[in-house]
Amino acid sequence: MIRAPRGTFDVLPDDAARRRTLEAHAERILGAAGYGQIETPTFEATELFARGVGEATDIVRKEMYTFDDGGGRSLTLRPEGTAPVCRAYIEHGMHKLPQPVKLWYLSSFFRAEAPQRGRYRQFWQVGAEAIGSAAPETDAELIVLLADLLGAVGAKGVRLRLSSLGTPETRAEYREELKLYLHARESRLSEDVRERIDQNPLRAFDATDPGTRDVMREAPLLLDRLDPQDAAHFAQVRELLDTGGVGYEIDPSLVRGLDYYTRTVFEFESDVLGAQSGVGGGGRYDGLMEELDGPATPACGFAAGVERMLLAAGEPPAPPDHVDLFIALAKPNGAGTGFELSRAARRAGLSAQLELAGRSLKGQLKHADRIGARYVAIVGDDGHVSLKDMESGQQRELDAADVVQAVRKP
């Protein structure tokens, strides 16, 4: 048997219904805040992610599906949506539009990670990017919008972690300080962290081994090194969240797995998710547009995993599909009448299903009951129909031409 590749899954009809509901919430919540939907290509030039997400990140180093397009150009299945949206902003000259340009997406992304519950190799994200605003209100608004989305979806046990990464300059100075701190304690660090002290010392905060964790408890914190403007920006974001009654915890060790962040970073986690607890996150990326050769443009955004939001919401049974009319065939030669009746019913806005499996009449009625049909039209061979009300059990004889009207106005 040929199976779906490891870390991928099929979206079956019940799942599809839940996803549609989630998408409708995203469209309503983000649309009401002025976000327009964007869809970028599934693959992009590899360089976009190497430069945008950062050469030193796990995503670029180990998790990208990269291939040659046959003409010597390197392409990559998109591992995230922010760099592509920025590419589109530059390519379409969106800096000429009134700012900020607010865009949202619901798209699939690809990362070659070790699959487990909540972590897949193809997954979906709802994302939102506000490009062209440096205001702290933008950061706070995005956090509130994501909180609203998680609330609408019914995600349980949600907590918000918040921090600030400052400017690249502050971060560079802090990185040197942290490197010195880590080098002085190398023997107590895990091999993975030790090997990458110079490349990515911040990742040490993410380590799970006891030795590294012990060392990191005493480590210097970037949050204590912010310059006055960054500290003021962060204070304003917090104030807006406080005023709005949005609960959060300041987590100075919050490290996001992408290099483009500046100033505010945040992550929503859910207790019910287990190891993969991050349900959605984001932050400000004021330098990314220039990194991609665009005009200097401040920006902020988030993305939340569709599968993780649904996992965090639990698995309520999908509501049964609504079936107004099931068309049963008493004799095989009634098929033509039944076929036309199903089309007429659907044209009239009813949901109608025709018997397609060659069941006995008894079997057809049982099936109609199982799918929750409101009425069953039993088509005889003379164009006559017996219409059964499945709630009352009453049955009456009609002409096929009158069935639709009878179902619409019983």
Interface with ligand HAM (CB under 6 A), residue from 80, 139, 141, 355: 80
> Cβ closer to ligand HAM: 105 or 326?
105
The region of 31-39, 40-48, 207-215, 250-258 touching ligand HAM under the rule CB under 6 A is: 250-258
Contact flag: residue 163 with ligand HAM (CB under 6 A): no
> Cβ closer to ligand HAM: 254 or 400?
254
Q: How far apart are CA 410 and CA 407, in angstroms?
A: 5
Measured CA to CA in angstroms, residue 346 lies from 161, 183, 350, 352, 375 at distances of: 50, 71, 5, 6, 14
> Cβ closer to ligand HAM: 272 or 330?
272
Interface with ligand HAM (CB under 6 A), residue from 52, 54, 81, 294: 81
The least CB distance from residue 326 to ligand HAM, in Å, is 39
Q: How far apart are CA 221 and CA 88, in angstroms?
A: 35
Segment 308 to 347, residues that bind ligand HAM, using CB under 6 A: 308
- Provide, for the chain, the percentages of residues in helix, strand and coil under a 3-state DSSP scheme, each rounded to the nearest 5: 40, 25, 35
Closest to 283 (Cα-Cα) out of 258, 264, 260? 264
Which residues, other chains included, contact 249 with Cβ-Cβ below 8 Å and sequence gap of 6+?
159, 160, 161, 162
Closest to 325 (Cα-Cα) out of 371, 369, 375? 375
Segment 113 to 142, residues that bind ligand HAM, using CB under 6 A: 113, 118-120, 123, 125, 127, 129
> Cβ closer to ligand HAM: 129 or 259?
129
> Cβ closer to ligand HAM: 301 or 334?
301
Contact flag: residue 287 with ligand HAM (CB under 6 A): no
> Cβ closer to ligand HAM: 128 or 365?
128
Q: How far apart are CA 58 and CA 44, in angstroms?
A: 18
Strand partners, 353: 326
Q: How far apart are CA 52 and CA 49, in angstroms?
A: 5
Residues near ligand HAM (CB under 6 A) are 80-82, 111, 113, 118-120, 123, 125, 127, 129, 256-258, 278-283, 285, 301-305, 307-308
